[in-house]
Amino acid sequence: MCPSQHCCGHAFAKKAHWKRHVDTLHNPQPTMHSCPLLWCNYQTSQKGNLVNHLRTVHSHIRPYVCGCSAAFKLKHQLTKHQNDLGHKTLQEDRVAISLASDFDDAIYWILDNSSLFDISYYGAC
């Protein structure tokens, strides 16, 4: 149960879900994760949302492929396409899914080691 002073009453099966809830909804200054691309202003309080943003907005990986050859970045997009059009087959491009997974792993590594990419970390030139 959420111990917040706001008494929101949410219950959580996992401690990580409770922690994410408290950090994002009850923390007056939650940690914000910003897109590392200089021209993009996207920010979110959840690192997983930033990884999804980078994969869906800034990459061209489309691992979920319909039998009609339409390809999608997210599995739910493929499912919606198939439901809307009555397509029954689910075809997944295993190489693209592996590439998407590697991409996500690389993004998490970059975010966890962001100080290595911060110019101010190295001091003035």
Indicate if 11 and 41 belong to the same structural domain.
no
Number of compact structural domains in the chain: 2
Residue among 86, 38, 85, 79 nearest 58 (CA): 38
pLDDT (tens digit, 9 = 90+) per residue, 85-123? 876 655 555 656 666 777 777 777 767 766 555 544 444
The span from the CA of 55 to the CA of 52, in Å, is 5
The span from the CA of 66 to the CA of 81, in Å, is 8
Q: Which of 6-20, 65-79, 86-100 has the highest mean pLDDT?
A: 65-79
CB 114 within 8 A of CB 36: yes
Indicate if 72 and 114 belong to the same structural domain.
yes
Range of the domain at 17: 1-30
Determine if the pTM surpasses 0.85: no
Q: How confident is the model at residue 5 (pLDDT cuts 50, 70, 90)?
A: low
Indicate if 19 and 78 belong to the same structural domain.
no
Indicate if 15 and 42 belong to the same structural domain.
no
Residue 56 pLDDT exceeds 80: yes
